[in-house]
Chain A
Amino acid sequence: MSFSARLHANAIGWVLPVLVIAGWEIASRAGVMPANVLPAPSAVAEAFWRLTLSGELIRNIGVSTARALAGFAVGGSIGFALGLANGLSRLSRGLTDTTLQMIRNIPHLALIPLVILWFGIDEEAKLFLVALGVFFPIYVNTLLGIQSVDPQLVEMGRVYGMDGRALFFRVILPGALPAIFVGLRYALGIMWLTLIVAETISASSGLGYMAMQAREFLLIDVVVLSILIYALLGKLADSLARLLERLSLGWHPAFQNG
């Protein structure tokens, strides 16, 4: 696909959001939508500008992003490591998989009261919740990816004299990669969701905290702004994951011409 065609395909995804925002602005100006229910987009933009100037917005986005990434790094790497171990070793899988599947069925947000008791409202609480939320999609999909590697290719690798290391890096890991990327994208979604909930309930900084403070003072424009920024951050994370996917899965028919 040519560059301009790709630009065109991307642009089409933005038609709907732009129309919704335009309609919303018109409705607000006409007085159909009272400002104490939903402020006009222009009022949200003003709040954005005000908070940017004061540095508050950037600081809170920074705090939330750092939390999200730290939790993701911890939970994601443990999930990836266990997924690999359980995919490659029958013993490891026998030992841990049942336990993990049981824990997986507990909604991790149900642990919030316990987590507050353990960690208070400090950073550890958020880190723990995000890490736990991110762990499972990465773990489950890494394991699934390794188990779904074509055994015929593994046999071929052995027949052609690959040792365990070569077999892993040239056959098993590339074969598991598409599933691992599915896990990554799920995990990124869960990462933001968990963080928002955790920050809304117990925090003294960050985007969720900013939104809750604004609610206290009835600053609806700031509340709406926070929600929009969450949407943008989520979209950004997903786009990054897709970019990585396209770069590393160039061989996959689904990513050719795309």
Chain B
Amino acid sequence: MPAASLTAVRSFVAAPVPARPAIAVEGRRAFAFKGVEKRFGDKTVLDGIDLDVPSGQFVAVIGKSGCGKSTLLRLLAGLDRPTSGSLTLGAEEEGHSRTRFMFQEPRLLPWASVVKNVEVGLTGIAAGAEAWQRALDILGEVGLADRADEWPSVLSGGQKQRVALARALVGHPQILALDEPLGALDALTRIEMQQLLERIWLAQKFTAVLVTHDVAEAVALADRVVVISEGRIALDLDVPVARPRRRGSAELARLEGTILDRLFG
């Protein structure tokens, strides 16, 4: 499906088409939720979410299990539709596909080689030799260029998730939605992946929305942390800490405390 028609399905209010002035990327909006509600039967999962995210921002969404944070992400990625309210996506940039989704599990095709799995991210964007070359380039960025022709089954958990990251990024998305993609990794691999994610995000400047249950991960990576509780935004906190951030610094620990207080206070 071409990116344009995907956008058409997902915009519930027509996206404004700006004259694309040569202003800084940060000035533009990536997406906005306005009064978004989502109900499954009688159960209200999201209850009036307002969230405006500028282009290029790294947002972490935190909440307890069942608070609706994954639903928020699925709405953003177009996997679900809101019951009411609107979701507006910013203007589309040429040659870039809109939103990519990184799942909790790697979800690689076991019958396709690593490089072919990455090429899945170019479906409808590029094919043949060009797709292969782009897939190899991004595999190099996640440090797996030498594993391109292997089957996914021989990779470790962290390596599989790096292939999934490469697949998500190969089409140069404007928004990357991450649904606890590091949750199943061991602690050390996890920190490695966080650093990789931060490095690629700094280089490519896409908008990242990371759903996580790990407060330390959120404050280490994000520009902004949104806490969701009972379907509403309970806290919207900026993380004004310069990068590279030092894990375990007093500043991050203080922010972490604020968030934990709000979650359990």
**With the chains together, A129 CA to B6 CA distance in Å?**
51
Say yes or no: A163 contacts B79, CB within 8 Å. Answer: no
Say yes or no: B105 contacts A251, CB within 8 Å. Answer: no
Residues of chain A lying within 8 A (CB to CB) of residue B110? 251-252
B112 within 8 Å of A by Cβ?
Answer: yes
How distant is A253 from chain B, measured CB to nearest CB, in Å? 5
Residues of chain B lying within 8 A (CB to CB) of residue A250? 151
**Knowing A153-B109, A251-B110 touch, does A161 contact B6 (C-beta < 8 A)?**
yes
Residues of chain B lying within 8 A (CB to CB) of residue A171? 109
User: Told that A155-B107, A175-B111, A251-B153 touch, could you supply 16 new A-B pairs with CB distance under 8 A?
Assistant: A152-B107, A153-B109, A155-B79, A156-B103, A160-B120, A160-B121, A160-B123, A161-B3, A161-B6, A161-B123, A162-B123, A170-B120, A174-B111, A251-B110, A252-B153, A256-B154
Say yes or no: A256 contacts B151, CB within 8 Å. Answer: yes
Could you pull out 7 A-B pairs where Cβ atoms are within 8 angstroms?
Answer: A152-B103, A156-B103, A160-B120, A160-B123, A160-B167, A161-B3, A170-B109
**Knowing A152-B105, A253-B153, A256-B151 touch, does A161 contact B124 (C-beta < 8 A)?**
yes
Interface size of B in residues (CB-CB distance below 8 Å): 24
**With the chains together, A175 CA to B110 CA distance in Å?**
9
Residues of chain B lying within 8 A (CB to CB) of residue A249? 111
B33 within 8 Å of A by Cβ?
Answer: no
Chain A, Cβ-Cβ closest to B104: A152
Residues of chain B lying within 8 A (CB to CB) of residue A155? 79, 107
Q: Digit string of B105-137 for contact with A (CB within 8 Å is 1, else 0)?
A: 101011110000000110110000000000000
A159 within 8 Å of B by Cβ?
Answer: yes
How distant is A74 from chain B, measured CB to nearest CB, in Å? 29
B residues near A, CB below 8 A?
Answer: 1-3, 6, 77, 79, 97, 100-101, 103, 105, 107, 109-112, 120-121, 123-124, 151, 153-154, 167
**With the chains together, A256 CA to B103 CA distance in Å?**
27
How distant is B83 from chain A, measured CB to nearest CB, in Å? 21
A166 within 8 Å of B by Cβ?
Answer: yes
Residue of A159, A163, A170 ringed by the most chain B CB atoms within 10 A: A159
How distant is A255 from chain B, measured CB to nearest CB, in Å? 10
**With the chains together, A156 CA to B101 CA distance in Å?**
9
**Knowing A156-B103, A159-B77 touch, does A174 contact B123 (C-beta < 8 A)?**
no
Q: Is the interface of B mostly helix, strand, loop or mixed?
A: loop
**With the chains together, A252 CA to B110 CA distance in Å?**
7
How distant is A53 from chain B, measured CB to nearest CB, in Å? 49
CB interface residues, A 167-196, toward B, < 8 Å = 170-171, 174-175, 177
Chain B, Cβ-Cβ closest to A156: B107
Interface size of A in residues (CB-CB distance below 8 Å): 22
Say yes or no: A153 contacts B107, CB within 8 Å. Answer: yes
How distant is B246 from chain A, measured CB to nearest CB, in Å? 35
How distant is A178 from chain B, measured CB to nearest CB, in Å? 10
Residue of B6, B103, B120, B151 ringed by the most chain A CB atoms within 10 A: B120
Residue of B2, B77, B107, B124 ringed by the most chain A CB atoms within 10 A: B107
Chain A, Cβ-Cβ closest to B2: A161
**With the chains together, A251 CA to B153 CA distance in Å?**
8
How distant is A153 from chain B, measured CB to nearest CB, in Å? 6
Say yes or no: B101 contacts A159, CB within 8 Å. Answer: yes
**With the chains together, A22 CA to B77 CA distance in Å?**
70
Chain B, Cβ-Cβ closest to A174: B111
Residues of chain A lying within 8 A (CB to CB) of residue B123? 160-162, 166
Residue of A152, A161, A163, A252 ringed by the most chain B CB atoms within 10 A: A161
CB interface residues, A 96-114, toward B, < 8 Å = none
Chain B, Cβ-Cβ closest to A153: B107
CB interface residues, A 21-77, toward B, < 8 Å = none
How distant is B81 from chain A, measured CB to nearest CB, in Å? 15
**With the chains together, A174 CA to B111 CA distance in Å?**
7
Give the residue of B2, B103, B109, B153 whose beta carbon is less than 8 angstroms from that of A174.
B109
Residues of chain B lying within 8 A (CB to CB) of residue A156? 103, 107, 120
Give the residue of A163, A170, A177 whose beta carbon is less than 8 angstroms from that of B1.
A163
Residues of chain A lying within 8 A (CB to CB) of residue B111? 174-175, 177, 249, 251-252
How distant is B72 from chain A, measured CB to nearest CB, in Å? 16
Say yes or no: B151 contacts A159, CB within 8 Å. Answer: no
For the complex of A and B, the 7 pairs showing the least CB-CB separation, nearest first, are A174-B111, A156-B107, A251-B111, A161-B1, A161-B123, A251-B151, A161-B124
Give the residue of A170, A177, A253 whose beta carbon is less than 8 angstroms from that of B112.
A170
Residues of chain B lying within 8 A (CB to CB) of residue A166? 123
Say yes or no: A159 contacts B79, CB within 8 Å. Answer: yes
Residues of chain B lying within 8 A (CB to CB) of residue A159? 77, 79, 101
**With the chains together, A249 CA to B151 CA distance in Å?**
11
Residues of chain B lying within 8 A (CB to CB) of residue A253? 153
How distant is A41 from chain B, measured CB to nearest CB, in Å? 45
How distant is A34 from chain B, measured CB to nearest CB, in Å? 56
